[in-house]
Amino acid sequence: MWTGTLLYSVQARLFPQTAPLLKTLDYAGICVQAREIGGDYYDFLDLGRKRLGLLIGDISGKGIAAALLMANLQANLRSQCAMASDHPERFLRSVNQLFYENTADSAYATLFFGEYDDQDGRFRYMNCGHISGLLLRGLTIEWLGSTGTVLGLFKEWDCSLEERTLLPGDTLVLYTDGVTESFNDTGEEFGEQRLIEALLRHPELPSKPLVEAIVEEVRRFSRREQHDDITVMVARRGPN
């Protein structure tokens, strides 16, 4: 029991302890682990020049093995993030190489990396085999789908870069499959549509209470034992 508590405490420090202050973006993330430790990951990185890195990922496997892989991935991302703003493709190629060289052959991670520019609202992203991000603009939804494959499985790896502009009032939502694949007593999954409906019910809610509201809706829907980590990140551009 002590070992599990210690590991939980150590892993909790791997999640962001501070969030860089931005003028135009209100953002927050949350991870509710199914066990004392898990394999979901999210982070906020200060990339300099008023740019913010937003990352969310899901590690293959469960328990201690997934937690160790998550720590490895986090260390790789943070050690290489100096090049993220100017060379995002090279940044993730370097991360993939390190992850590939230092993990087992079957280990991999999905990852969504986004970079937000606080000066002009520009948002560049790379989706490495992760669930599509959701970009909400009023009642319109855009799916930010995969632009490359997962990290860690292939030595030769590449991922393309996409770009959008977040307009005032736009909301970006990133999450792991523990949200949509949570199921109730009849085996029905929470699903993407319920997630979208939950977001549309709270158009003015700030990001922190919004991620908490989403987690609460998932828990009310799936009252049985939680089988997977639930991780959600919301970033909303302000009106000005």
> In total, how many domains does the chain have?
1
| SS3 at position 231 | strand
d(CA 159, CA 128): 7
Could you give the C-alpha distances from 230 to 57, 156, 218, in angstroms and in order?
Answer: 11, 31, 9
Range of the domain at 118: 2-237
Indicate which CATH number applies to the domain containing 126: 3.60.40.10
User: How much is the pLDDT for 2?
Assistant: 42
Kindly report the number of other CB atoms within 10 A of residue 80's CB atom. 17
What pLDDT, in 10s, does the model give residues 193-214? 999 999 998 888 999 999 999 9
Q: What whole-number distance in Å separates Cα of residue 51 and Cα of residue 47? A: 5
Q: Can you list the residues of the chain whose pLDDT is less than 70?
A: 1-17, 34-38, 225-227, 240
